[in-house]
Amino acid sequence: CPGCMKYVQYAGCVKYVQYAGCVKYVQYAGCVKYVQYAGCMKYVKYAQCVKYVQYAGCVKYVQYAGCVKYEQYPGCVKYVQYAGCVKYVQYAGCVKYVQYAGCVKYVQYAGCVKYEQYPGCVKHVQYAGCMKYVQYAGCVKYVQYAGCVKCVQYAGCVKYVQYAGCMKYVQYPGCVKYVQYAGCVKYVQYPGCVKYVQYAGCVKYVQYPGWVKYVQYAECMKYVQ
């Protein structure tokens, strides 16, 4: 990409990345030193805590030393406190109260989410006739999205997921058996490597046993080793 990425060094840290005057400098040696996105993000410091993040007058200050001190999103988030629990979060009349002391007490999204309880499991979540019931006790029992998702079972693996004739079957016991997206993805196998991925005549074959064997993107990328 001419004039886009200037230099990227991965030896446990990124030295310099330039994206058409967007990202100026990114340093990963356990912490990010400086990131510039067209006057958006001014400074991000990760040494187990974020010092300052600026998004065009959006986020004013975020402090992570085991807790968030203050976040401001143009009249959206008023105060967020993470010292093992969230004290108060306000999203323009959306979220009223969120309490995390090992569980969520109450979350209100403009008539959307009615109640969420996390003492190791979600009891009931209601999204305006969308999600009917979600149970997390090591597995999801039932999730309904307006005739989209029929059933999702997490007992270390997904048994069946239906998205309006899109995804037919997904099996995760450490590997994906089959994923179908309206004639797009034909087969994906992850036992440490991808066997085959088909995107409407785009990607022909991808093999990851430490490297890519072949990738075809409609006359774009011919071969990657």
Q: Which pLDDT value is given to residue 210?
A: 42
Domain identity same for 52 and 23: yes
Domain identity same for 97 and 107: yes
| Whole-angstrom distance, CA of residue 59 vs CA of residue 158 | 37
Q: How many domains does the chain have?
A: 4
**Each residue's pLDDT expressed in tens, for the chain with a length of 225 residues:** 334 344 444 444 444 444 444 444 444 443 444 444 434 344 444 333 334 443 334 344 444 333 344 444 444 344 444 333 444 444 334 344 444 443 444 444 333 334 444 333 344 444 333 344 444 433 444 444 434 344 444 433 444 444 434 344 444 333 344 444 334 444 444 444 444 444 444 444 444 444 444 444 434 343 444
The per-residue pLDDT for range 98-108, each reduced to its tens digit, is 444 434 444 44
What domain range includes position 213?
183-225
Domain identity same for 64 and 82: yes
Q: Which pLDDT value is given to residue 71?
A: 43
Domain identity same for 10 and 40: yes
Domain identity same for 136 and 114: no
Domain identity same for 114 and 64: yes
Domain identity same for 9 and 49: yes
Domain identity same for 101 and 153: no
Domain identity same for 48 and 67: no
> pLDDT > 90: what percent of the chain?
0
Domain identity same for 112 and 133: no
List the Cα angle 12/17/21 in 5-degree steps.
160
Task: Pick the last residue of a domain from 22, 40, 56.
Answer: 56
Domain identity same for 84 and 120: yes
Question: How many Å is the maximal CA-CA distance in the chain?
Answer: 54
Domain identity same for 52 and 63: no
